[in-house]
Copies of this chain bind each other. A is one copy, B any other.
Amino acid sequence: MLPFARVTILGLGLIGSSIARGIRQHMPSVRVTGYDADPSVRATAVAIDLCDDVADSAGTSVIDADLVILCVPVGAMGAAAADIAADLPADAIVSDVGSSKGSVIEAVRAALPDATFIPAHPVAGTENSGPTAGFASLFHHRWCIITPPEGSDSLAVERVSEFWRRLGATVDTMEPGHHDRVLAVTSHLPHLIAYTIVGTASDLEEVTQSEVIKYSAGGFRDFTRIAASDPTMWRDIFLSNREAVLDMLQRFTEDLTALQRAIRWGKGDELFELFSRTRAIRRSIIDQGQDDARPDFGRSHE
């Protein structure tokens, strides 16, 4: 049995448009209504036939929805929720796809105090953005973390879980605060580091930017992919998950300082010990199907 019959997607970027395509593929009888605050995104959505309907306002888009998914940057969740408050059906379930949960739960609850809100976070994405970047299989074999606040209706949690399973994801549930700390280390800190190193490299006066680009195959190019992710989305994530990000960053900096000291003092054993330990993690990620086993990410060497 389909968990929902009429789904509204608010925000038609990479994730929103992938959900729309995923529904078309996996739940073709579900009616999908889309809305985006940007008129040009709405026009694109119409042009590429992304949804059954593209509404002209947030309120209109939710009028007959039984699931409303907020797919906007985490800093815009509260405003998006407020925009639908007057028109949201009483029995609709509201969910989201935000990469941080504590602040999103607070903002959505403030805007929709009486709504059933079941927060979710599909751990999937690419470095591309916008309505044409989405694809139906984005969530296949990826985790979707549901973070039901205490006292959530268990049937509502199950319906949202089933929705994500239909899109190909494996569902896990987690306490929101724990989610925010896990993602701070597995996603937010890596993005922050990648943005930083790409910035550092492009600022060097003595090494020209063309040299950085030319010789990027030595490792740098790996970082540029996630440093090409959506700027608004990531600005919001760091601001909204501030405490956990700052804590993880502090640990990272301590570890980096220890390595810096080992390099300065020629302590090769300390370097070797760490570099040996980190290999095992890669192995486990591949064994668990969370990354490609082919060397160099399977990049073509023709």
Contacts and interface: CB of A to CB of B under 8 A. Distances in A.
Interface of A: 75, 99, 123-128, 133, 135, 137-138, 140-143, 145, 172, 181-183, 185-204, 206-207, 209, 211-229, 231-232, 234-236, 238-239, 242, 245-246, 248-249, 251-253, 255-256, 259-260, 263-264, 266, 268, 271-272, 274-279, 281-285, 288, 290-292, 295-302
B200 A252 contact: yes
Contacts of A248: 200
Tell me if A's interface is mostly helix, strand, loop or mixed. helix
B256 A249 contact: yes
Contacts of A260: 246, 249, 253
Given A197-B252, A259-B195, A302-B140, A126 B186 contact: no
Counted per complex, copies of this chain come to 2
B207 A219 contact: no
Contact of A187 (B218, B249, B251, B296): B218
B278 A224 contact: yes
B218 A99 contact: yes
A219 B260 CA distance: 24
B201 A185 contact: yes
Given A219-B191, A224-B285, A186 B202 contact: no
Given A215-B143, A225-B297, A275 B186 contact: no
B279 A227 contact: yes
A100 to B, nearest CB: 11
A197 B189 contact: yes
Contacts of A299: 291-292, 297-298
Contact of A263 (B223, B242, B263): B242
Contacts of A259: 192, 195-196
B199 A185 contact: no
Contact of A127 (B193, B253, B282): B282
Given A185-B201, A190-B219, A291-B216, A238 B263 contact: yes
27 contacts: A75-B268, A140-B301, A141-B301, A141-B302, A143-B217, A181-B206, A185-B200, A185-B212, A194-B219, A195-B274, A196-B255, A196-B256, A197-B252, A199-B278, A202-B278, A202-B281, A217-B291, A224-B278, A224-B282, A228-B278, A228-B279, A235-B271, A238-B263, A242-B266, A249-B263, A292-B297, A298-B299
